[in-house]
Amino acid sequence: MTPEEKAIELLVKDLEKIEDSMLKRIVALVKSGNFTDADIASLSGQVDFFQQINQLGYAGKLEKFFEQYDEILKKINQEAISRGLQGLSGASARTLDNYVNLKAGELLGKAQNFGNELQSALMSNLIAGTPIKDLVATLKETITPLSGNQLKVALNAGVKEFRVLTTKKVYEDLPEQRFKLYGPVDEKIRPSCHGVMKYQPKEGYTKKEIDEGAWTKLAIQGAHEFSNNAKGEIIPSSYNMMDGKEYTFLFTGGFGPCRHEPLAIYKEN
């Protein structure tokens, strides 16, 4: 497991704990039962669920998680500098920093939405007179969870995207820089990625060549060549996976989370 994967696993587990703690707070808040309309109205206006979530450590966990983005940037930039390149300019570093702030804002927004959904669902159940013993289970069925597999997929995609964007910014003043697709070749590899990994030339491609279709051609070839099941039958969804899609510097894999990304290469690679 990579450091990034460990950080994602830790954040997801931490957010699961925050979600559980928040639900326990709600049960403690309403355990007396028999809420009047006045009580419900007061609860709606006086309790800030988003603030409660942050009190449980949500914002702090996010801040800790995004520290790894600094390490990713430093690693890619230092690799370029060690090869005699200039590395990131101040303007490029600020652009990437703004991107990280936007990604953090997205996750804060998810917590805001979670708090709003939770508060709305709580109000509905209080008005309906849902028994306290059923409240947590009912709320979990109603609201979009704060953590879970969807979040894990989004975090993995975000980390990968940041590495690719950092690579682009580090080498953007060197149009002749060449890249190869890098990542695992195993039973999970998509046919499109398999095609690029197998047929890309040793010397790689420039970013311009990649975005103009060099990888797309190989991805289509792979989708057609590696889309058979164990019986040798063609799997239509895999065979046609590249229809209308481009396999570019940023959007490798064509859709969803992909474990492959561009890596700068040098003569000795």
Do 68 and 35 share a structural domain?
A: yes
Do 18 and 71 share a structural domain?
A: yes
Domain annotation covers residue 77? yes
Do 188 and 66 share a structural domain?
A: no
Do 255 and 186 share a structural domain?
A: yes
How many angstroms separate the CA atoms of 215 and 153, rounded? 24
Do 128 and 21 share a structural domain?
A: yes
User: Could you say which of 157, 189, 223 is where a domain stops?
Assistant: 157
User: Could you say which of 124, 157, 190 is where a domain stops?
Assistant: 157
Domain annotation covers residue 164? no
Report CA dihedral (165, 169, 171, 173) to the nearest 10 degrees: 150
Do 254 and 200 share a structural domain?
A: yes
Whether the Cβ atoms of residue 180 and residue 200 lie closer than 8 Å to each other: yes
Range of the domain at 224: 176-265
How many angstroms separate the CA atoms of 121 and 244, rounded? 41
Do 225 and 115 share a structural domain?
A: no
Domain annotation covers residue 191? yes
The pLDDT score that the predictor gives to residue 28 is 80
Do 114 and 15 share a structural domain?
A: yes
Whether the Cβ atoms of residue 125 and residue 138 lie closer than 8 Å to each other: yes
Do 87 and 186 share a structural domain?
A: no
Domain annotation covers residue 162? no
Q: Which of 179, 212, 191, 166 is nearest to 254 (CA)?
A: 191
Domain annotation covers residue 149? yes
- Which backbone phi and psi does 172 adopt, to 5 degrees? -65, -25
CA distances from 241 to 192, 216, 219, 246 (A): 8, 12, 9, 10
Do 149 and 20 share a structural domain?
A: yes
Domain annotation covers residue 167? no
Q: Can you give the pLDDT of all 269 residues of the chain as single tens digits?
A: 788 889 999 999 999 999 999 888 888 877 765 566 676 666 666 668 899 899 999 999 999 999 999 999 999 999 999 989 988 999 999 999 999 999 999 999 999 999 999 888 888 888 888 887 888 888 888 888 888 888 888 899 999 999 999 999 999 999 999 999 999 999 889 999 999 999 999 999 999 999 999 999 999 999 999 988 776 778 888 878 788 889 999 998 755 678 899 999 987 54
Domain annotation covers residue 171? no
Do 205 and 148 share a structural domain?
A: no
User: Could you say which of 95, 128, 157 is where a domain stops?
Assistant: 157
The pLDDT score that the predictor gives to residue 39 is 67
The number of residues in the chain equals 269
Domain annotation covers residue 165? no
Sequence-ordered list of residues with C-beta below 8 angstroms from that of 88, at least 6 positions apart, any chain: 73, 77, 96, 166, 169, 170
Do 139 and 210 share a structural domain?
A: no
The pLDDT score that the predictor gives to residue 269 is 47
Q: Which amino acid is at 104?
A: A
Cα end-to-end span (Å), the chain:
24
Q: How many domains does the chain have?
A: 2
